[in-house]
């Protein structure tokens, strides 16, 4: 089933997309609040805390009944599609979204619910949040995978000195603003319910290394890591874990000959696959990852570890 958030007859979304989603009141100890009395740490207090955590957070990979949204899942051989399939297999009720109506085909293939929306547009993100809530329920797992270039919005490879401001903004919006807008739309509900998982797709380009002519992309992906860590600290006391996965060279139908050669030059000796990235994402989405937050998991065949390539 597929829904186009732009075909609502012009009616505004119930959620005001220009305002952050509602969340819990400020926690004690915040600005303007009375200071908490110090708690004496005793073995009994520690044991009680562990018992509470053990009861509430079973170490399992299953996501039975949880609603998961995966953005950027329009390609049948991409990371978003592989991630949606894996979350579905773990029991989640999955929604996928892309900017084009080819999401119809992907949703039908996976047996999930598809939505069409431009995630760089505040109003459309708000309408998407309303539509998913109406159709599936409250989103508890969010995978911000959207960001790759498309035919309608191709990646610009140009040195900074030749890069226009509009080209810079387009790359930042596609790779960073989408993660910000989607996260902002759902974190209030996650915090209120006391559980949630957000996994952002970064890249090794930016946080780990960089290539000439890709400054905007590298800056955006480095920004994804910064957003991940800031959100993790904002939401940690509300039971919401936020992490990111940074893929290296991954083989898809869009891979160029140059990219494939780069993959063959990794220590493992081949490019990665979308399923291998999806496995890392799915783990971070699971209850089993309850003690991991604010982290970047690199999936690049060891390429970022090697100091030099020996022949």
Dist CA 168 CA 159 (whole Å): 11
Indicate if the alpha-carbon torsion angle 174, 176, 181, 183 is positive or negative.
positive
Structural domains of the chain, count: 1
Domain that holds residue 133: 59-299
Flag whether 30 is in a domain. no
Which pLDDT tens digits describe the chain residue by residue (311 residues)? 667 877 655 455 666 655 566 655 445 444 455 555 666 777 776 676 666 665 555 689 999 999 999 999 999 999 999 999 999 999 999 999 999 999 999 999 999 999 999 999 999 999 999 999 999 999 999 999 998 665 556 678 899 999 999 999 999 999 999 999 999 999 999 999 999 999 999 999 999 999 899 999 999 999 999 999 999 999 999 999 999 999 999 999 888 888 899 999 999 999 999 999 999 999 999 999 999 999 999 999 999 999 766 55
Q: Report d(CA 252, CA 274) in Å as an integer.
A: 7
Q: Would you say residue 8 lies in a domain? A: no
Asked if residue 259 is part of any domain, the answer here is yes
Q: Are 173 and 255 in contact (CB under 8 A)?
A: no
pTM of the model: 0.87
Say what the pLDDT of residue 174 is: 96
CATH of the domain at 72: 3.40.50.720
Q: 27 lies in a domain?
A: no
In a domain, 167, yes or no: yes
User: How high is the pLDDT of residue 253?
Assistant: 81
Q: Is residue 274 part of a domain?
A: yes
275: in domain: yes
Question: How far apart are alpha carbons 252 and 177 in whole angstroms?
Answer: 24
Q: Which residues contact 21 (CB under 8 A, 6 or more apart)?
A: 15, 129, 184, 185, 186, 187, 188, 189
* Residues recognised as catalytic: 217
Contact 265, 248 (CB under 8 A): no
In a domain, 48, yes or no: no
Give the pLDDT confidence score for residue 258 in this predicted structure: 87
Residue 201 exposed, middle or buried by CB count within 10 Å (0-12, 13-18, 19+) = buried
**What pLDDT score does 20 carry?**
60
Please state, as a whole number, how many other Cβ atoms lie within 10 Å of the Cβ of residue 137: 13
Confirm if 97 and 113 have CB atoms less than 8 A apart.
no
Q: Residue 141: which H helix or E strand, with range?
A: strand 139-144
Helices (H), 103-214: 103-110, 122-135, 165-172, 178-193
Residue 65 has a pLDDT of 96
Q: How far lies 105's CA from each of 97, 271, 308, in Å?
A: 12, 27, 44
Stretch (H or E) spanning 274: helix 274-285
**CA 248 from chain center: how many Å?**
16
């Amino acid at each position: 089933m597929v829904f186009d958030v732009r075909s609502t007859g012009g009616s505004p979304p119930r959620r005001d997309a220009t305002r952050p989603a509602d969340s819990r009141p400020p926690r004690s100890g915040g600005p303007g609040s009375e200071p908490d009395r110090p708690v004496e740490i005793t073995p009994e207090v520690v044991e009680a805390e562990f018992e509470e955590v053990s009861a509430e957070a079973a170490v399992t990979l299953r996501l039975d009944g949880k609603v998961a949204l995966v953005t950027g899942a329009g390609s049948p051989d991409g990371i978003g599609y592989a991630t949606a399939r894996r979350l579905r297999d773990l029991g989640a009720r999955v929604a996928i979204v892309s900017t084009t109506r080819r999401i119809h085909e992907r949703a039908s293939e996976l047996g999930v619910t598809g939505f069409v929306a431009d995630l760089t547009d505040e109003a459309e993100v708000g309408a998407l949040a309303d539509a998913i809530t109406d159709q599936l329920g409250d989103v508890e797992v969010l995978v911000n995978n959207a960001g790759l270039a498309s035919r309608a919005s191709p990646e610009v490879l140009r040195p900074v000195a030749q890069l226009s401001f509009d080209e810079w903004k387009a790359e930042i919006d596609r790779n960073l603003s989408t993660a910000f807008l989607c996260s902002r739309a759902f974190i209030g509900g996650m915090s209120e319910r006391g559980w949630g998982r957000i996994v952002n797709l970064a890249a090794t380009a930016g946080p780990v290394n960089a290539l000439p002519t890709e400054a905007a992309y590298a800056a955006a992906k480095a920004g994804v890591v910064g957003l991940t860590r800031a959100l993790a600290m904002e939401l940690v006391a509300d039971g919401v874990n936020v992490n990111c996965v940074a893929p290296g060279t991954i083989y898809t139908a869009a891979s160029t000959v140059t990219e494939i050669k780069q993959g063959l030059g990794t220590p493992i000796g081949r490019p990665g696959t979308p399923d291998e990235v999806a496995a890392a994402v799915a783990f971070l989405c699971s209850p089993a990852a309850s003690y991991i937050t604010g982290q970047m998991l690199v999936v690049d065949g060891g390429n970022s570890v090697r100091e030099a390539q020996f022949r």
